[in-house]
Structure 1
Amino acid sequence: MITIKKEALEVISRLPDSANMDDIMYHLYVLDKIRKGQEAIKDGKIISVEELKKEMKSW
């Protein structure tokens, strides 16, 4: 299993040398959101499309 640190370093290493701090932070932010989404799916914290549509109608 790949560690969070290794995954972050891999993401950063794929960025161009011209990347600035905002670029790095954005890519790490996206990586974090993807990991959290994968964990939520694994934990069964999902809703169906129908449930989502019902929820959106209340907005």
Structure 2
Amino acid sequence: MTGAHPNKASIKKAATRLVRDLPESASWDDLMYEILVRQKIEAGLANIRDGRQHSHQTVREEFGLA
């Protein structure tokens, strides 16, 4: 991931909070899903901050769907 990286302490805090907020019945798959979603959101926000986003219209035009 590029852009502004959270420091290791904030990642550890976020991971701890994520685990704490899972239901008692959560599986390893549930945990991995939550980590993946969080990672994708962080990457998307970094892309926006760094100017690497495209509008829906631009993507549609690029693929000939306009």
1:50 to partner: Cα distance? 1.9
**Residue type of the partner of 2:15?**
A
Query: Offset at 1:29?
Result: 0.6
* Residues 1:19 and 2:26 aligned together: yes
* Structure with more of its chain in helix, by fraction: 1
TM-score normalised over the length of structure 2: 0.75
Q: Which amino acid aligns with 1:12?
A: V
RMSD, aligned CA = 1.8
| Structure showing greater relative contact order (alpha-carbon pairs closer than 8 Å, 6 or more residues apart) | 2
Give identity over the alignment, percent: 36
Unmatched 5+ stretches in structure 1:
none
The SS at the match of 1:35 is helix
Q: 4+ runs of 1 displaced by more than 6 Å?
A: none
Per the alignment, residue 43 of structure 1 pairs with 50
Q: Partner of 1:3: helix, strand, or coil?
A: helix
CA distance in structure 1 between the partners assigned to 2:63 and 2:20 by the alignment: 39
Measure the CA separation in 1 of the matches of 2:55 and 2:38. 24
Give the equivalent residue in structure 2 for 1:6: 13
SS at 2:43 equivalent:
helix
Equivalenced residue count is 58
